[in-house]
Structure 1
Amino acid sequence: MAEVTADRLMEEFDLTLMNDEESVTYRSITTSDISRPGMEMAGFFTYYPAKRIQLLGKAEMSFYEQLPEEDQIDRMQRLCTYDTPAIILSRGIEAPDTLKQAADEVGVPVFSAEISTTRLSSKLTTYLESRLAPMTAMHGVLIDIYGIGVLITGSSGVGKSETALDLVRRGHRLVADDSVEIREEQDGVLVGRSPDLIRHLLEIRGLGIINVMTLFGAGSVRNEKRLGLAIDLEAWDQKKQYDRLGLDEDFIQIFETNLPKITVPVRPGRNLAVIIEVAAMNFRLKRMGINAAEQFSERLATVIEEGDHDND
């Protein structure tokens, strides 16, 4: 899981620090949930979610301004804890001195943002869900083929990168080569991207490292893609029985999500790029309710049944 701190949010969302920078401690943000402390402004702190970012909008601050000075000081002191990662005021609202003083005492950064409260809350939640999602790294190649994120796996030297290069030449888009960072951003939603160090790069044995975006243009790459299908390349084994109809369903489990998987045997003369391209198109058809293998199986069953009737 990547770490997100309040100073990273300040850069990402162009926030303005309102209190004393020397007193601020940029703590880690551990949850994507955002709190709007309306009940807390009224004095109810029993279930105060102190570890969340506290977002103060026009409604909260209008209520705060109607409180007696003694209550104003009390609310801000109780709002600012050593666990609170940040307090953000939307719509360019100026932070009151009571908030600045209370925040400085415990090192909580107080920010101001120009956009509306609802929009800011939505943007913050989306960003934090992405950054704080569980993450793992897998050895393989991720390609966007006809809108399907295809994760190509297999043992080292089986031809994953060479196949990826052929797919890029056919108009598809490279996301990651060699190492794919995968995050579960929502239940059942896996998103893959490349580590920054090797983004847009392909390693081809005998040729070295090439920059796909430089060679083929910006349209040949993308920074991230949702995973839809895994294709495992393995050396052809004559003793192994491979699926010839496509009726068998196999999966690879990443976190709690089952990703559909196809095993493609590799041997000289097989055009892997075309096979993977067709596999992606066939996967799209299946999601649209068109399954060629099932249609063939139904036709075959009908023919066998009719043959049995004729024999009778």
Structure 2
Amino acid sequence: MNRVRVSELIEHFDLKLVSGNEGLDREIIVSDISRPGLEIAGYFTYYPRRRLQLLGRTELSFFNELSMDERYKRTSQLCTAQTPCIVISRGIEVPQEFIISSNKRNVPVLQSKMQTTRLSSMITNYLESRLAPMTAVHGVLVDVYGVGVLITGDSGVGKSETALELVKRGHRLVADDSVEIRQEGESELVGSAPELIQHLLEIRGLGIINVMTLFGAGAVRNYKTVSMVIHLELWDQSKVYDRLGLDEEKIKLIDTEIPRLVLPVRPGRNLAVIIEVAAMNYRLKNMGYHAAQQFADRLNDSLHDR
């Protein structure tokens, strides 16, 4: 399970640590954020204690109208062993009751100068990205005409060489050898390279090259949505390969299915050009034009006319 430490949240958003210093290693395991308005009013039956608690002007205005005993009771109930942290927005001064309760339970209380709605949106997006399900795939990810193409295949089949040819033809490298893929939202797969090998490409006989240094910043990008998989394999004479394109194979990555094409490799085939055409054809299909299906329909119509 992916996790984000409170200390990482502080560093990313430049938050001020007010109290609860001993809880900086607490982990945030869900991306949902709680605005504990009902809890401040005293209703804790369904308190989502594992969520980050964000309080703005509305919650704290009501909190300050409570009696001192009620304020201590509310903050004590908010600061549980499972609560990762409490964030106060708009630079509002943190009430003393929060400081005392958070220090007792080691729940960090953080302060931000940002407006509540904007801060909530930014933290949610950050947590969804960091906590998204992730997998690593052996392959090469390239941005071809705006389509994220994940090239897979056995070691030595020519994935990196094909990616190099695509870069020379004006396309952009995202990752080589190892592609980290995160599922963001319901069905979006976003691929990137591990930081150690970012912008690097390994070519057998030549070694490791830095694509950004050789071809410029326009030849690379840090991440890209994975739209399709192209699997390279050595040409098997006994195998029948798809010649019409009517049978659309799918592959499941994490919880999302995307199209998968199998390209047989043999001397004389220009794989870079074929992948370019595959990317353009993918875009046409998304626009409603399916060449293979239209050919099959015309063929059926011709046979019926006879």
TM class by shorter-chain length? over 0.9
Q: Provide, for residues 31-82 of structure 1, a one-character-per-residue CA deviation record: whole Å limited to 9, x for no partner.
A: 0010000000001111111110000000000000111111111111111111
Aligned-partner residue type, residue 172 of structure 2: R
Aligned partners of 1:299, 1:45: CA distance in 2, in Å?
66
- 1:76-91 paired onto structure 2 within 5 Å: 76-91=75-90
Q: Provide, for residues 212-271 of structure 1, a one-character-per-residue CA deviation record: whole Å limited to 9, x for no partner.
A: 111111111111111101000010011111111111110111122111001110000000
TM-score by length of 1: 0.96
- For 2:95, the equivalent position in structure 1 comes to 96
Aligned-partner residue type, residue 277 of structure 1: E
- For 1:300, the equivalent position in structure 2 comes to 299
Aligned partners of 2:14, 2:267: CA distance in 1, in Å?
54
Answer whether contact 2:5 2:24 (CA < 8 A) is retained: no
- For 2:5, the equivalent position in structure 1 comes to 5
Aligned partners of 2:170, 2:93: CA distance in 1, in Å?
51
Q: Helix, strand or coil for the counterpart of 2:275? A: helix
- For 1:57, the equivalent position in structure 2 comes to 56
Aligned partners of 1:117, 1:100: CA distance in 2, in Å?
20
- For 1:142, the equivalent position in structure 2 comes to 141
Aligned partners of 1:20, 1:186: CA distance in 2, in Å?
33
How far the C-alpha of 1:20 sits from its partner, in A, is 5.3
Q: Helix, strand or coil for the counterpart of 2:48? A: coil
- 1:99-114 paired onto structure 2 within 5 Å: 99-114=98-113
- For 1:231, the equivalent position in structure 2 comes to 230
Aligned partners of 1:70, 1:215: CA distance in 2, in Å?
67
Aligned partners of 2:24, 2:143: CA distance in 1, in Å?
41
Q: Helix, strand or coil for the counterpart of 1:177? A: strand
Aligned partners of 1:144, 1:25: CA distance in 2, in Å?
39
Aligned partners of 1:31, 1:20: CA distance in 2, in Å?
20
Aligned-partner residue type, residue 33 of structure 2: I
- 1:128-277 paired onto structure 2 within 5 Å: 128-277=127-276
Answer whether contact 1:26 1:108 (CA < 8 A) is retained: no
Q: Provide, for residues 178-229 of structure 1, a one-character-per-residue CA deviation record: whole Å limited to 9, x for no partner.
A: 0011111122111111111111100000000001111111111111111101
Aligned-partner residue type, residue 91 of structure 2: G
Gaps of 5+ in 2: none
Aligned partners of 2:216, 2:113: CA distance in 1, in Å?
36
Answer whether contact 1:41 1:64 (CA < 8 A) is retained: yes
CA RMSD for the aligned pairs? 1.0
Share of identical aligned residues, percent?
A: 60
- For 1:290, the equivalent position in structure 2 comes to 289
Q: How many residues align?
A: 306
Aligned partners of 1:271, 1:2: CA distance in 2, in Å?
41
Q: Helix, strand or coil for the counterpart of 1:260? A: strand
Q: Helix, strand or coil for the counterpart of 2:114? A: coil
Answer whether contact 1:26 1:109 (CA < 8 A) is retained: no
Gaps of 5+ in 1: none
1:67 aligns with 2:69: no
Q: Provide, for residues 121-165 of structure 1, a one-character-per-residue CA deviation record: whole Å limited to 9, x for no partner.
A: 111111111111111111000011111110000000000000001
How far the C-alpha of 1:24 sits from its partner, in A, is 3.2
How far the C-alpha of 1:97 sits from its partner, in A, is 1.2
Decide whether aligned partners of structure 1 residues 44 and 20 sit closer, same or farther in structure 2, where only a CA change above 3 A counts: closer
